[in-house]
Amino acid sequence: MGEVVCVTGAGGFVASWLIKLLLSKGYTVRGTVRQPGDEKNAHLYKLDKASENLTLYKADLLDYDSIHEAISGCNGVFHVASPLPTGPVQNPEARLLTFSVELIEPAVKGTLNVLKASLEAKVRRAIVVSSGAAVTMNPRWPKDRVKDENCWSDKEFQKKMKNWYGLSKTEAESEAMEFGKSTGLDVVRVCPTLVLGPMLQTTANSSSMFLVRQLKEGYESRENKLQKLVDVRDVAEALLLAYEKPEAEGRYICVGHMIMYKDLLDKLKSLYPHYNYPKSYTDGGEEPKMSAEKLQKLGWNCRPLEDTLIDSIEHYKAAGLLE
């Protein structure tokens, strides 16, 4: 194909798999990272075709000029990067302000910087990676109705629940939607749920650690709630479909499997019986399921859950995360 595309947050879990897929399809990729020479980005240079078709740009989402330089001359953009707090907040009174400064403002401003640079570069389409967290946290949604793309998380409810990451994704996605409407930029948003699967990067990410903790921590009791999971490789495929399919528009929920927490752990236990699983479960209540039907109509499908679990655990074992 030979199109030039930019991927923000290139060294991360989802972005690394997306770049691997893009390179395999003949794209020329520009990845933005904070430090191109950092060891944590070394895995990107080892990808097939990376030596000829991948360039890493030093960029900060909050520095418009650096983002503009990476995106200028691109046909398309995948905005995958999302800020996470750098560490624990010492002063509880300052916590809300700190999360706002460290998480919400950068998520929104970073997204708008990427979209402004995309507009200036006249890209064909910008794909924004949102989150299932921007969909699910809506207490007013009817309990018997499957959550689709019309369901948005309630920002006030997220504040009340102190779900700052979810709030940052909801704010950023709604700003991205409005930016597309007001400027005419073709912006498509994809909302993955909890992303599992083998890692290409060497630093463990938070969603991978979710699975590691279930096997290692030896929890006495856990809440039996609906888990909404998707394989990282399937997320990469969804992002590419959202970019390549002319009919793609709006937002897409990207969920592969929905399974109760206890059933998930029972499945893991049948595959890997020797880990330290929770001893008991409490009732987590009922929750509406989510639908990936809109994404499936684009031609998306997901691999079996068992494949994701086995590939994840085998990778964690090899990486020493389960010792």
Strand order of the sheet with strand 54-58? Answer: 54-58, 28-33, 4-8, 76-79, 125-129, 187-192, 251-254
Q: How many residues does the chain have?
A: 323
Is it the case that residue 314 has pLDDT exceeding 50? yes
21: CATH? 3.40.50.720
pLDDT of residue 261: 95
Q: Residue 76: inside a domain, yes or no?
A: yes
The burial of 39, by beta-carbon neighbours within 10 Å (0-12 exposed, 13-18 middle, 19 or more buried), is given as exposed
Per-residue confidence (pLDDT) for residue 95, from 0 to 100:
53
> Which tens digit of pLDDT belongs to each residue from 219-273?
889 999 999 999 999 999 999 999 999 999 999 999 999 999 999 999 999 999 9
pLDDT for the residue 99:
59
Say how many Å lie between the first and final Cα of the chain, rounded: 43
Average pLDDT, the chain: 92
Beta bridge partners of 128: 79, 189
Q: 88-92, 202-206, 317-321 — which is least confidently predicted?
A: 88-92
Tell me if 46 is assigned to some domain.
yes
Tell me, yes or no, whether 49 lies in a domain: yes
Evaluate whether residue 222 is within a structural domain.
no
pLDDT of 102 higher than 80: no
Instruction: Round to whole Å and give the CA distance between 24 and 56.
Output: 17
For the chain, count helices (H), then strands (E): 14, 12
238 part of a folded domain: yes
> Can you give the pLDDT at residue 123?
98
Give the tens place of pLDDT for each residue, 35-85.
998 888 999 999 999 999 999 999 999 999 999 999 999 999 999 997 665
211 domain residue, yes or no? no
- The count of domains in the chain is 1
pLDDT > 50? residue 18: yes
Residue 113 lies in a domain: yes
* Residues of the domain holding 131: 4-199+228-256+288-302
Distance (Å, whole) CA 162 – CA 209: 21
Q: Residue 92: is its pLDDT beyond 60?
A: no
Contact predicate 54/11, CB 8 Å: no
Give the active site residues: 169
State pLDDT tens for residues 166-214: 999 999 999 999 999 999 999 999 999 999 999 999 888 888 889 999 8
Q: Is residue 52 part of a domain?
A: yes
